[in-house]
Amino acid sequence: MRLTFWGVRGSYPVASSTTLRYGGHTSCIQLDIPGVDTPYVLDAGTGIRNLGMRLLEGSFGKGEGTLRLFLSHLHWDHVQGLPFFGPAHVGGNRIHVYGRGRDGAPLLEAVTGITRREFFPVGMDSFPATMEFTEVSPNVPIEADGVRILPLSLNHPWGALGYRFDKGGKSVAYVTDTSPFHTIRYPEKFVTGAPKELSEEDRSALGEMRKNLVAGLSGADVVIYDTQYTDAEYEKFPHWGHGTPKHALEICREAKAKKLVLFHHAPGRTDDDQDKVTTETREFASKDGIDVVSAMEGMRVELG
Amino acid sequence: MKVRFWGTRGSFVAPGTAFQRYGGNTICTEVTSGDSRLVLDLGTGCIPLGAALAGEAAKGGSKRFAVMLSHTQIDHIQGLPFFVPALVPGWDIRIMGPPTAGRDMTGVLDSALNPNYSPLYGVENLAAKLSLTSMQEGDIQVDGFRVKVRELPHGQTKALGFRIEADGASFAYLTDVEYGQDPPPAALELALDADLLVHDAMDTAEEVTRRHGLGHASPEDAVRVAREAGAKRLLLYHHDPDRTDPAMDQLLERVRRTAPGMDIDGAREGTVIELGRPAVRS
């Protein structure tokens, strides 16, 4: 398996001189799996536009490509690249979109909604490529191309899904966006902070979510995890639904994962600050034998 | 009157070393005169603008201003959920823009911030005091600015163009426009004898033909409006997300050769342009 990072930034794309090394594009990762000629794409943040240009050089340029796109959720930073994804504009290509819609707004409707006339000149339903939408559910594995795909429930406003991909004894998990599981369980409305104390019901639901996540990540070769915040930032902003490196390490340690990729960097995090986060997290991780790296635009991770 | 560019990139952000001089943030321009402030469009450029305004407010600066949106396509509103003045109580912001597809300004922004797309769960959770109003063609006064608003063709929809006057100077803002053949009278009216014309120049002439219907102008269109309207200075705006700094330099060289004597440049993120004289205060 091979991961290629096309966008690593959280919340919004950043065009700044202080983020040139790690990159400013939002979430998008390409996963190539040996024996599978269909690229897997994790989220459609702004990074997907550059991926699209690369794919157009091959079969997608001739309208003969097929790919699978797995959406963690539909917040703008995870979908806003999709209308600008070159392969979607070439007839004959097939794009299978996986994700989860919500009450009364199925995946298809919610995703195509980003190109309503007030937001984009052309509706996604008239893009030349064939787009198919498949709703998935947490903890219910599916199979495609001989790959086992396990969706996992995450702790984020309006919900988000993580995914684990297994084939030929190798595994990669994509876990974003998520908050830790001990301070807040997001209600179905906007909140401006965490509650003073969790209710018994919330505590139990969060415990269940965490248990399923740890089980789902068990022994994974690579875990890509939302580590947007430092501990101090999380204290201030628990209500936006993001995690910290310490929390990610705690989950990886329990799951006995081998490698942690820090991901979804805060938009204000400069390259130098991200270097420090990497160094600090490596120190914490060394005793557990977990390899730590910060995702960087253009970076590749090869797994056997 | 001061014009400051916070985001000059069209359609899509352009992070990276190749875009550092003209800038990679999407559309946002700030206009100030005396105590009045007008923000044009809310692309990602409004995020650093918001941080700057919060900094000024901490030192006693005004927390009241107006925003005018040319239209609501995503590169013109994507900064809003991260625009600090909109997110904290105590600010008083008037946002005006065109209704689209049967939705008024509140409807459009609420739909952009619905819980599927934003952890804000809706426009009502922006903590500032917001007044959202739909804007039509007309001649209006916005704080210290006289503003002419005209509809211009933008692909299969419309965008609003603006002429802003203060301190004895005039500034025309025409972005996301596609003319077909001749620029419409409204474009020339807005740019008439303007001290500064900022004009969409996303596509080359060849691209305008290929991407017909997507709603953008070429540098040639911009030059033509500047020439016919007698604008004194032209800044190309809404740069293609793939146009690198060297490519932009080359494009400008080529365009300048076609319009000898015309003052032409590319709008650059961070540039401040002073127009006219500040009003004398009594």
Question: Nearest to residue A139, comparing CAs of A116, A112, A161, A167?
Answer: A161
State the nearest Cα–Cα gap between A223 and chain B, in angstroms: 24
Q: Given this model, what pLDDT does residue B26 score?
A: 98
Question: Are A6 and A25 within 8 A, CB to CB?
Answer: yes
Percent of all residues in chain B with a pLDDT value above 70, rounded to a whole number: 98
Q: Given this model, what pLDDT does residue B181 score?
A: 83
Q: Given this model, what pLDDT does residue B206 score?
A: 74
Query: Of A20, A121, A267, which has the smallest distance from its Cβ to B214's Cβ?
Result: A121
Question: Nearest to residue B57, comparing CAs of B91, B97, B106?
Answer: B91
Averaged pLDDT for residues A253-262: 98
Q: A7-17 pLDDT, tens per residue?
A: 999 999 999 99
State the nearest Cα–Cα gap between A238 and chain B, in angstroms: 12
Nearest-Cα residue of chain A relative to residue B74: A119
ipTM (interface predicted TM): 0.96
Query: A2-7 and A28-32 as β-strands: parallel, antiparallel, unpaired?
Result: antiparallel
Question: Does B11 lie at the interface with A, CB-CB under 8 angstroms?
Answer: yes
Question: Are B195 and B168 within 8 A, CB to CB?
Answer: no
CB contacts of A158 in chain B (<8 Å) are 115-116, 119, 121
Residue B200 CA to residue B220 CA, distance in Å, equals 10
CB contacts of B23 in chain A (<8 Å) are 15
Q: Evaluate if residue B88 carries a pLDDT over 90.
A: yes
Which of A54-68, B54-68, B153-167, B203-217 shows the lowest per-residue confidence on average (mean pLDDT)?
B203-217
Percent of all residues in chain B with a pLDDT value above 90, rounded to a whole number: 90
Q: A77-135 pLDDT, tens per residue?
A: 999 999 999 999 999 999 999 999 887 678 999 999 999 999 998 999 999 999 999 99
Averaged pLDDT for residues A164-179: 98
Nearest-Cα residue of chain A relative to residue B77: A119
Q: Evaluate if residue B281 carries a pLDDT over 60.
A: no
Averaged pLDDT for residues A163-190: 97
CB atoms within 10 A of CB A109: 12
Question: Does B204 lie at the interface with A, CB-CB under 8 angstroms?
Answer: no
Q: Which domains does chain B have, with CATH numbers?
A: 2-268 (3.60.15.10)
What residues have CB less than 8 Å from A121, skipping those under 6 apart? B73, B155, B156, B157, B213, B214, B215
Interface of B with A in 41-70 (CB under 8 A): 44, 47
Q: Given this model, what pLDDT does residue B282 score?
A: 46
What residues have CB less than 8 Å from A153, skipping those under 6 apart? A138, A139, A159, A161, A162, A209, A212, A213
Q: B219-253 pLDDT, tens per residue?
A: 999 999 999 999 999 999 999 999 999 999 999 99
Q: Given this model, what pLDDT does residue A282 score?
A: 97
Q: Given this model, what pLDDT does residue B279 score?
A: 58
State the nearest Cα–Cα gap between A152 and chain B, in angstroms: 18
Q: Evaluate if residue B280 carries a pLDDT over 70.
A: no
State the nearest Cα–Cα gap between A35 and chain B, in angstroms: 34
Question: Does B119 lie at the interface with A, CB-CB under 8 angstroms?
Answer: yes
Evaluate the omega torsion of the peptide bond into residue B104 and state whether it is cis, within 30 degrees of 0. Answer: no
Q: Evaluate if residue B180 carries a pLDDT over 90.
A: no
Chain A residues in contact with chain B using a Cβ-Cβ cutoff of 8 Å: 11-17, 19-20, 23-25, 46, 49, 74-76, 79-80, 84, 102, 105, 110, 113-114, 116-122, 156-158, 188-190, 239-241, 267
Averaged pLDDT for residues A196-208: 97
Q: Given this model, what pLDDT does residue B207 score?
A: 75
Averaged pLDDT for residues A46-65: 98
Q: What is the enclosing helix (H) or strand (E) of B206?
A: helix B205-210
